[in-house]
Amino acid sequence: MTGTDTEVGKTIVVAALASLGRGRQSSVAVVKAAQTGVVGSDIGDVQIVGALAGVPPADLYEFARYPDPLAPAAAARLSGLPAVDVAAAAARITMLAEAYRLVIVEGAGGLLVRFDDEGATLADLAHHVRAPVLVVARAGLGTLNATALTLEALAHRGLELSGVVIGSWPAEPDLAARANIRDLETLAARPLAGALPEGAGRLATDAFHAVASAGLGPAYGGSFDAADFRSRHEPTRKGHQ
């Protein structure tokens, strides 16, 4: 799981995937290779996922945490703590995949944010474990360029795209958000994989599961219909009713 930027809704989409996976009676593990901006026992992304999706603490895996809210490489360097070893992380994820039916790995920031000063990235981790990548994008103005760059980087590295999900669909979407739906699908060369409503992260577990089911497509265990979503939100041409 990666995003086109930070704060685009990756953790909420991870929680939605985990909730649907558990709803299908699958064993689910959630992995955060590098958590930044947390200290001591502070709540991190995997704990947020656990609370929303009902994933037990024993199935939540955080490989490293750093106190400064920076990219993992910079956060490790400033803290004096070891950087994430991508090969070792890949080996742990591979072992988890033997024990769980579904393993969800959340990146930090975007696809090419560095884990270490040698330049290892989430793209390298995905390559090591041969995993498809789900991209979480913003809804509004500016998302098309960021999404295009992320998808181009995926293709350049020979990584498989699982789909594109809008991480936070506004309650009152503006013209840019509504017009971007078709363009996001064009960039991905496939229908949207989902769109989660803003505020989903504040819901209780049962209510969140219902939102996850409506917000993610059948490939992930949900009922999201990309064509219906587009028809309800896409703006009409000027001069046409």
pLDDT over threshold 70, residue 240: no
Number of independent structural domains in the chain: 1
The answer to whether residue 40 sits within a structural domain is yes
For the chain, how many helices (H) and strands (E)?
9, 9
Q: Say which range, 5-9, 92-96, 161-165, 205-209, has the weakest mean pLDDT.
A: 5-9
Share of the chain above pLDDT 90, in %: 93
238 inside domain: no
Q: Quickly count: other Cβ atoms within 10 Å of residue 144's Cβ.
A: 18
How does pLDDT run across 149-175, given as a tens digit for each residue? 999 999 999 999 999 999 999 999 999
pLDDT, mean of residues 53-75: 97
Residue 239 located in a structural domain: no
Q: Span 68-90, mean pLDDT?
A: 97
How many angstroms separate the CA atoms of 83 and 76, rounded?
Answer: 5
Does 238 participate in catalysis according to the annotation?
no
What are the angstrom distances between the C-alpha of 201 and each of 11, 18, 67, 176, 223?
Answer: 9, 13, 23, 24, 19
Average pLDDT on 45-58 reads 97
The whole-number pLDDT of residue 238 equals 66
Closest CA to 115 of 159, 146, 81: 81
CA 174/CA 124 separation, integer angstroms:
36
| 241 confidence band (pLDDT: 50, 70, 90) | very low
Residues 199-225 pLDDT 10s: 999 999 999 999 999 999 999 999 999
Give the mean model confidence (pLDDT) for residues 107-132.
96
Residue 40: predicted pLDDT:
86
Q: Which of 9, 28, 54 is CA-nearest to residue 220?
A: 28
Residue 241 lies in a domain: no
With beta carbons less than 8 A apart as the criterion, state whether 177 and 139 touch: yes
For residue 65, what is the DSSP state?
E
Asked if residue 73 belongs to a domain, the reply is yes
**Is 187 a residue whose pLDDT tops 50?**
yes
Assess contact for 92 and 131: CB atoms under 8 A.
no
> Is residue 219 situated within a structural domain?
yes
What is the DSSP pairing of strand 35-36 with strand 161-169?
Answer: unpaired
Q: Which two tokens stand for residue 218?
A: 């059948």
> Is residue 21 scored above 70 in pLDDT?
yes
> Out of 10, 22, 32, 138, which one is annotated catalytic?
32
Q: Which domain holds residue 97?
A: 2-233
The strand ranges marked E within 107-236 are 133-137, 161-169, 194-197
Q: How confident is the model at residue 82 (pLDDT cuts 50, 70, 90)?
A: very high
Distance CA 4, CA 111 (A): 7
Amino acid 188 reads: A
pLDDT at 180: 98
Instruction: Classify residue 50: in a domain, yes or no.
Output: yes
- Label the pairing between strands 194-197 and 161-169: parallel
Q: Does residue 129 lie within any of the structural domains?
A: yes
Is residue 72 helix, strand or coil? helix
CATH number at residue 140: 3.40.50.300
